[in-house]
Amino acid sequence: MLRLPLVLNTSRSGLTRHELAAFVTELNRIWSQAGICFEVRSLERGFSAQSRHSLWLIRGDVPFSSGHYDSDTYIWTEDAPKLAHAPHPATIPAARTAAHELGHALELQHLPRTGSYLDALMNTGYDGYALAPFEIRRARTKATAFALPALVPTCRPPLW
């Protein structure tokens, strides 16, 4: 399992601690298919210097769409994005959108919504979350460059 640090900024979010815990669980369930998990730390706890990626959860509209990847330190996701249905949907739309935007940080591109890609994580605006083998290879290659040391086999729970 590749463990990646992720700073989560919730200062503009309306999600409760319980909802945030479910969000992190779903985010890591989605990325577990690639052998990747995100060790989430709260910005309020001062962990920004320890992470390459910062995710901002916001109540209301994100510019451009329900999520946006601007750079590794500016990844935006709405608390409650409205996604179109996929054959095998994610449970928590905000976690699916965050997983999609983090896919861009791991150098994944959008996929066409056709054939075997109907459930793809990298489809825009849909709630599918599947990763193709070529995406898993690319994401793991990118993630290896900044993964945490493999001292523990699984991700630690969020540190709020």
Residue 114, pLDDT > 90, answer no
Q: Residue 62's pLDDT band (boundaries 50, 70, 90)?
A: low
Q: Which residue has the higher pLDDT, 44 or 146?
A: 146
The token duo for 101 is 């935007």
Tell the residue number behind the tokens 């769409």, with chain if given. 65
List domains and CATH numbers for the chain.
Answer: 2-144 (3.40.390.10)
What span, in angstroms and rounded, lies between the C-alpha atoms of 34 and 84? 24
Instruction: Identify the helix (H) or strand (E) that includes residue 8.
Output: strand 2-12
If DSSP codes are grouped into helix, strand and coil, which group holds residue 83?
A: coil
Q: Which residue has the higher pLDDT, 54 or 65?
A: 54
If DSSP codes are grouped into helix, strand and coil, which group holds residue 5?
A: strand
- 26-38 pLDDT per residue, tens: 999 999 999 999 9
Residue 70, pLDDT > 80, answer yes
User: Of 78, 158, 86, nearest to 127 (Cα)?
Assistant: 86
Predicted local distance difference test score (pLDDT) of residue 24: 95
